[in-house]
Amino acid sequence: MFDAHYSRRTFLPLTVLILLALAIMLVPFGASAAGSTPANRPSPHAITALPKPAVGTIMLTPTDTGKYTNKGFHNATNLNYLVGDCNLLNCYPPPNAHYRNFFVFDLGGVVGTITGATLVAADPFDNPPSAPYTLYAVQSSIAYVEADQRGATNIYHDLGAGTVYGSIIPADNTGSQTIPLNGYGVAAIRRAEAAQQQIVFGGDMPTPIGSNGYLFGGSGSSLTDVQLVLTVR
């Protein structure tokens, strides 16, 4: 005979076990019973990996290029950036002159942290000696450097007397010269970027007058012959 009292004592614990099992099944997978965050959702205390900074390249074309003779002559309409000694008849004025050059770049509109810089300049014709070509800081105002000049030997000296921004032993017959800028050069570019203004680099190659050792002959047909390549993040 069926014993109702025995049935209640037997099935009550089974009912409790079933309810406990259902409760456990309702807890989201990957979470503890204390209500912790599901595994597919970040914990408020989890450490999230920071994204790596993006690295990019910005290429700037100069706003002006040019050269000065050791007599302080500069033609503002001539973009040629010959440097060194030139004793050819078309190296006027005068023949047997020594030249220093310059490059002007506008940092207005550049955004990002500049981490490196390289100047790349077309070099159609050259006769480089075993002498370095060096980029320098320039103290003269950019407007003064860019203007037509006669007898401005102070600018000629300024283009090769400041803080060194980079230096190379020129390669021969490569079609271009590449000058990596050092920390001083990069810092100067950063300052120009922060002020959103222009920067000018002077250049010199100390070849003796009469040696006919030069770089960048036939240059300056277009401002795009020169690029300032910036690495930014």
Instruction: List, for residues 173-223, the tens digit of each pLDDT value.
Output: 789 999 999 999 999 999 999 999 999 999 999 988 778 889 999 999 999
Cβ neighbours of 211 (radius 10 Å): 16
Per cent of the chain over pLDDT 70 is: 74
Phi, psi of 25 (to 5 degrees): -65, -30
CATH 2.60.120.230 location in the chain: 56-232
pTM: 0.76
* Predicted local distance difference test score (pLDDT) of residue 93: 59
pLDDT digits (tens, 9 = 90+) for 81-117: 999 998 776 676 556 789 999 999 999 999 999 999 9
pLDDT digits (tens, 9 = 90+) for 28-82: 444 444 444 444 444 444 444 444 555 799 999 999 999 999 999 999 999 999 9
pLDDT digits (tens, 9 = 90+) for 128-154: 777 899 999 999 999 999 999 999 999
**Which positions ≥6 away from 40 have C-beta within 8 Å?**
30
Residues constituting the chain: 233
**Which positions ≥6 away from 50 have C-beta within 8 Å?**
none
Whole-number average pLDDT of the chain: 82
From the list 191, 36, 201, the residue with the least C-alpha distance to 114 is 191
From the list 56, 31, 48, 79, the residue with the least C-alpha distance to 229 is 56
* Predicted local distance difference test score (pLDDT) of residue 225: 96
Torsion of CA 167, 168, 173, 174, to 10 degrees: -90
CB-based contacts of 94-99 (< 8 A; 24+ apart in sequence): 94/69, 96/209, 96/210, 97/69, 97/70, 97/71, 97/209, 98/69, 98/70, 98/207, 98/209, 99/67, 99/68, 99/69, 99/70, 99/214
**CATH annotation of 56-232:** 2.60.120.230
